[in-house]
Structures are given as structure tokens and as C-alpha cells.
Amino acid sequence: MHIDARNLPNNSIINGDVCIVGAGAAGLSIALDWMTGPYKIILLESGGFEFDNDVQDLINGTTSGQKYYPLRASRLAMFGGTTGHWAGMCSPMDNIDFEKRDWVPHSGWPITRQDLDYYYEKAHKTIQLGPYNYDLDYWQKQDPDLKSFQLDNDVVWTKLWQINSLRFGPTYADTIKKAKNIHLYTYATLTNILANEEVSEIREVTLKNTAGKTHTVRAKHFILAGGTIQNTRMLLASNTQAIKGLGNDNDNVGRYFMEHLEIQSAELWLYKPFLAKLYTWGNVYGELSISEKAQKEHRILNGTAGLSPLSIAKYTKPRMEIWQNADPRKSMDNVMQNWVEAAREANAELYGEDDFDSLKTEEEKLTKLLELFDKLSMTNTFEFQTRIEQAPNPDSRVTLGRDRDALGMPRVNLHWQLTELDKRSIRTIYQLIGQQMGLAGLGRVKLKEYLQDELDNTSWPDGTNAGWHHMGATRMSDDPKKGVVDANCQIHGIHNLYVAGAGCFSTSSAPNPTLTLVALSLRLSDHVKQKLLMA
């Protein structure tokens, strides 16, 4: 069932069993999981089914520290959330990501990788991926052309991704609308959370919209699924009963914000051309990863190295430079245009062809780009792009600013701050890959200039990219003094308030977060079901 909250009588009261705030990957995964049950589910979405400039402006804010994208353009405020422009790269975290690592401050989850395996498999169905199997041998049997570099797996191995750029919005809109027990309210922006006198239980939440309407939702359980930054914002802004904000008695809400560093780091020069289909964009895709043994020995973060033909990569601008338009649609257009222009330049340089002008649509140009990537998979010069976790850092954080949005809510400031461990880890990754390439007689690795000085672990080039992956800020820990939510994603001290999404990540691992955040959300969904059954 769908209701546009702009059309409700002002000050309407909405009752349900479970209230899910946010209809992105996390919120929709949970809602879909409840469709066959007896419970009334209230699903709230700040925007509508199409891009709305006024709603998009509600998520605007400021940034400081390491250069970052405009916050207004880093997320999509609409049904389906940021899956509206994601690349669809999915891979599970590794065992080591959940462990306490003495060389990584603030590392360690209260759950293990095995606790998520069942939910990873369920998440595959939600995202409509292939089998929950990331074993290289399995996929090579399906396609013998997926050849890997023959390196020492005790040092460097190939980690796999499966790719399906599923748009949750158009894919699941009709399903949600037709579900009898799911009540979807669009144009329903959360503006306040009210608890009981002891602040141990949430009683109701307040909604507003750009039509000037205010509404109230009452439920037994409330799940914040509005994205890492917006979830944080709401907890901090709901401060009438808890002066520091809900769940923030120990000043942890907003801290430990993490991103993935995705940055051009080195070049690979092979002695002979190599069919790199495995390492080229496709339904199954591989990146070189450092083994757990080597991570422990060299005391580095978990990261991977992806390959791109150097002939194209040298014409590709850093995304941090071209994703700076506050309109996410225009920033996306800028990125796509740069990729096409890079392919045009490479095509002309290598083959004396410039047939891109004959292509009329962006889809045709993108298809031509992918064809060129496939054509160049058999080459001997590549650029490495790093995909690496960020070390948890309490000073990398989200705070409330002084400015307010059109609904009267305080806007946020994101202070993104990196550490020496981040940079040292990137350098060590390529030193290890370079050593292994040399020992295997395959070729050599050349570090980018910013990594060549081993004494410099603090400076970063202007083109330092982030992955648009907002993680941490409401991190998971069994100890309330070290985190915001417990192992079941429940806010410490508030028995019916939960956080869904990548904000719960204790550490960020190397893979893109969507698969894990969906798995974690499905695990949370089961936990709330059990609590309702026991009530």
C-alpha cells in the first residue's frame, strides 16, 4: 500500500507494529522480509519515486578535513535510495575483517563472518545475484578464460566480486505497493524521535514534508535505515530528552566515519600480454588482495588492487575532481562523459579510430567503452586502483552544524580524516604485489609518485577518491563505551530502536558495502521478529 504523506490531513497519527525509516537498500531489504507476516509495517521514505530537487536539498551539509564530494550529491533521497546510481559490485567481507587486530586501533566486531553467512546467501536473493559462491576455481570452471595471475596465495590472491547494478526503486516499487501489510509513506521525512521518560523506549516519531504537513508514527519497534549520515543526524538532533542526542551518552554517535579509499596507486608492466578478462569488468570480477597472513605480518589494512588498461586510465580524471556538482545527476553525467572521452582518446591513440562521434546515446557510448575494455584485456600495461578499508578513527566524524534545512532540521558537517596507517598500507600492498610479480617472472610494478617517499605517510594527492560508501558513525560494539549499537544493531539502552545499514560497521573491509549491509539488515530483521514473537 502506498500513501503520499503530502495528501494526508495535517497532524495525522499513523500506527503500526514496526516502523522502518528509509526505503533504500537496507530499509527495502527489511520490508521485503516482512511481507508475508501478520504485522503492520510502516515504511517511511523522505522522497518520492522520482528525483525531487527540494527533497534532495534536505540532505545537504558541509565538509571539512580531507576533500570530499558535496554531501547533497553523495546520496539519492528517493525510493530505492542510492542504489539509483550504484555500480552493483558485491563481495562479502573476509574473516580478518571481524577480528580484533592489535595493529588496527578500534578494530573488532562482536560478531564473526560466520554469523553473516546465512544472511549473505539471503542477501544474494534480494540483490538478485548469482550463487553465493566466491571461490575462484568454481568460476573458472564456468569460464576457462577467467585466468588469474599465478602468484603465491600466501601473499597475494584474487578476491572476487559479483556484479548486478540492481535499482531497488524500480525493481521493488510495485511489490511494495501491492503488499497488504506494508504501508509505504512517501514524502515523509523523519524530524524527531521521542522516548519515554527514562529514554529506554521509543514511543513515537515525528514526520514532516515540504508541503508543510506534520505527522506522527507510533509503533512497537523503530528501525533507522536512512543511511549512515542521516541516521546519525537524526540521533544527534533528537536531543530534547537526551541532551547529547539519543544513544550518545558516551559521545560515540557520529564518530568513526569511514569511507573506502579508491585511488590510482601504481602501474603494472608485464613482460608479455596477459588475458586479463578476470580482472576486467564483467558479471564476475577479480582484484588482487593481500592474504590475512601477510596483513598480519606487515601490520596493514585490508585492501585490494583492481586493474584498468593503462591506455584508458591515463586519460581518466579522478572522480573527486569531477563529482563536484551538487546535483548528483549532473555529477554522474560528468563521470560518464570522462570515461567515454578517455576511451575515445585511447581508441584514437591505439587504433587510429575515432568513431565515438557516430554514437548517438550515452548507452551506445558506454557499450563502446566496455567493448574497448574487453578488447584491451589482452595487453601488458595496466593501472592499479586501490580499494581499501579506512582505519577506524574517532576524529573522522559527523556532527551537527548551525544551518538548518527547509524543515527546520540542523544540517550536518562531515569531517573526513585519514591516518598514517591508511597510506602506509596502500604503499605496502603494492610493494608486496610488485615483489610477487617479480618472483613469478611476470613483470614489474611502478608506484605513483605520492607513494614513493616511505617517510611520507600523511600527504594525499588532490585526486584522492572515496567510494561514496558511508560507513561507521553508529558503529557496533558490545561495550556501550565503544559503540552505538550492540551485536543485534539495537541502540545501547533503548530496547526498541535499531540502526540498519553500513553505519553499524565496526570496520569497513575492502569490498563495497551493499552486500554486507543488506545481510546485516536481514539479520536485524530476524532479531526483531523474534522479539515480537516473545512479546
Average pLDDT, rounded, for the chain: 95
Q: How many CB atoms lie within 10 A of CB 263?
A: 25
What is the rounded (10 degree) CA torsion for 53, 55, 57, 62? -150
Compute the C-alpha angle 294/511/451, nearest 5°: 55
State the maximum Cα–Cα separation within the chain, in Å, rounded to a whole number.
74
Distances, alpha carbon 156 to alpha carbons 104, 361, 431, in Å: 20, 40, 11
By percentage, how much of the chain surpasses pLDDT 90?
Answer: 89
Alpha carbons 500 and 44: distance in angstroms, whole number: 14
pLDDT for residue 342: 87
353 confidence band (pLDDT: 50, 70, 90) = low
Check whether 221 has a pLDDT greater than 90: yes
pLDDT for residue 436: 98
Alpha carbons 516 and 150: distance in angstroms, whole number: 29
pLDDT for residue 371: 76
pLDDT for residue 369: 72
Alpha carbons 220 and 211: distance in angstroms, whole number: 28
177 confidence band (pLDDT: 50, 70, 90) = very high
Per DSSP, 485 falls in state B
Give the model confidence (pLDDT) of 138-166 as tens digits: 999 999 999 999 999 999 999 999 999 89
Check whether 356 has a pLDDT greater than 70: no
Distance of CA 380 to the CA centre of its chain: 32
Q: Which residues, at least 6 apart from 402, have a Cβ–Cβ distance to it below 8 Å?
A: 410
Q: Which residues, at least 6 apart from 77, have a Cβ–Cβ distance to it below 8 Å?
A: 46, 47, 52, 55, 56, 58, 59
Alpha carbons 61 and 67: distance in angstroms, whole number: 14
pLDDT for residue 23: 98
351 confidence band (pLDDT: 50, 70, 90) = confident
Q: DSSP letters of 418-470? A: --HHHHHHHHHHHHHHHHHHHHTTSEEEEE-GGGS-TT--S---TT--B-S--
Check whether 359 has a pLDDT greater than 70: no
pLDDT for residue 434: 98
Of the candidates 138, 128, 172, the one whose C-alpha atom is nearest the C-alpha of residue 23 is 172
